[in-house]
Amino acid sequence: MTSKIVAKGIVSAVLILSAIVLLLYFLFKIQLIIVYIIISIVLTMIGTPIVDFLRRRLKFKNTSAVITTLLFYGLIIFGFILMFIPLVTSQGEKLSLLDVNTFQTQLNELILQVKNYLTTKGINGDRVLKDYNVISKLNFNFLSDFLNSLLSTISNLGMGLASVFFITFFFLKDRVIFIRIFNYIIPDDHEEKILNSITQINELLSRYFLGILLQLFIVFVLYLIVLMIFGIENALIIAFLCAILNIIPYIGPLIGSVLAVILTLLGNFNGEFTSDMLYTSIYVMIGFFIVQFIDNNFSQPYIFSNSTKSHPLEIFLIILIFGLLFGITGMILAVPSYTILKVIGKEFLPDNRIIQSLTKDL
């Protein structure tokens, strides 16, 4: 092997790695647009049968059928918003009663009671509170900042929803044109492999999304049971909201637990902070942790591994890798993206040993 060949190989490797890094960086920068497109594709797949029904049975024109389908989506979203109005109203009333300084003073008094209780049990309460620096970390002035960030998030969700509806409109309206373009650009020598990949990807992703719905339903029921046991106000809505957050792997359940504790505190707040509020919130948090333990160790691995035909360890590692590369968006899209890559690898690199070991169950 001459030095020229070695140098050429090194240059090629550097260029390939650079291209991969640039591609990953580009995908990272447009990750929000990718999410919009993926959501629009899912909505298009769901809406296509509705559009076809309206056109064939009710004799709608294509554009009218698409607009009617999007209106149907809008009514569903509006229904969800109406469902959350009682929660927002009640919690808003609770927040109007909240005096941050008084709330913090009362909580500090409660911590002092905890310290005295620890002392009676032979535990150095002063040392425990000093080691963990509890009192100095209790600052509830963040509430106004939190509400401002919440309003900003709602505004961004509105823009995202408008973008998704705009993209979905043209996907539904001009889907025949997109199919023709896709068929035109498929190389003839790889047409069979590509079509087989699309068929299998569609089947696996359909099973995956159904698996997610099943998992969310199980978590929702368990959350609801926990909240109803302790008589939490608006238990149905809180359980639904926390279950939806489970879409974000690993991080979502933690956010849901914190949210449930905050809403439990506010739900029991009547202008004065009491020890019963704290105990109820702790019990709810423990209940949610038990639910998450059941979900993480039983329902989630079983449902996901069976729906995507991947080992639970594969799913765990892929979610971590995508999370490090693309953040929360990457964690949500990790399993579908990995499934697509596995199917493509099986069709186009069937002789590769690594691909064979990863796709033996496909």
Together in a domain, 105 and 214:
no
Spell out the per-residue pLDDT of the chain, length 362, in tens: 566 676 777 777 788 888 888 887 887 788 778 878 888 887 887 788 888 888 888 888 989 999 999 999 888 888 777 766 666 665 555 555 555 555 556 566 666 666 676 677 666 656 655 544 444 444 555 545 555 555 555 556 777 888 889 999 988 888 777 777 777 777 767 777 777 887 787 778 777 877 888 888 899 999 999 999 988 877 888 888 888 888 888 888 888 888 888 877 776 656 555 667 778 888 888 999 999 888 877 777 777 777 777 887 888 888 888 888 777 778 888 888 888 888 888 887 777 777 777 777 76
Q: Are residues 207 and 126 in the same domain?
A: no
Q: Is 341 a member of any domain?
A: yes
Q: Is the dihedral of CA 43, 154, 139, 107 positive or negative?
A: negative
Domain count, the chain: 2
CA distance 174 to 169: 8
Residue 295 lies in a domain: yes
Gap between the Cα atoms of 166 and 310, Å rounded: 35
- Is the residue at 176 inside a domain? no
* pLDDT tens for each residue of 4-37: 676 777 777 788 888 888 887 887 788 778 878 8
| Interaxial angle between packed helices 3-29 and 312-348, expressed in degrees from 0 to 180 and rounded to the nearest 10 | 120
- What confidence score (pLDDT) does residue 84 get? 66
Whether 220 and 333 map to the same domain: the answer is yes
Which pLDDT score, from 0 to 100, does residue 254 have? Answer: 86
Question: In terms of domains, do 216 and 360 share one?
Answer: yes
Q: Which two tokens stand for residue 95?
A: 């927040």
Looking at the structure, do residues 351 and 224 belong to the same domain, yes or no?
A: yes
Instruction: Work out the angle between the directed axes of helices 142-173 and 175-185 (0-180°, nearest 10).
Output: 80
Give dist(CA 357, CA 361) in Å, integer.
9
Same domain, 241 and 125: no
Residues 219 and 344 in one domain: yes
The amino acid present at 131, given as its one-letter code, is D
Same domain, 124 and 210: no
> Per the domain annotation, does 220 fall within a domain?
yes
In angstroms, the CA 32 to CA 297 distance is: 31
Q: What is the pTM of this model?
A: 0.67
Domain shared by 223 and 133, yes or no: no
Dist. CA 222–CA 292, nearest whole Å: 9
Range of the structural domain that residue 108 is part of = 98-140
Which two structure tokens, joined as six digits, stand for 295?
Answer: 């979900």
Does any domain span residue 71? no
17 within some domain: no
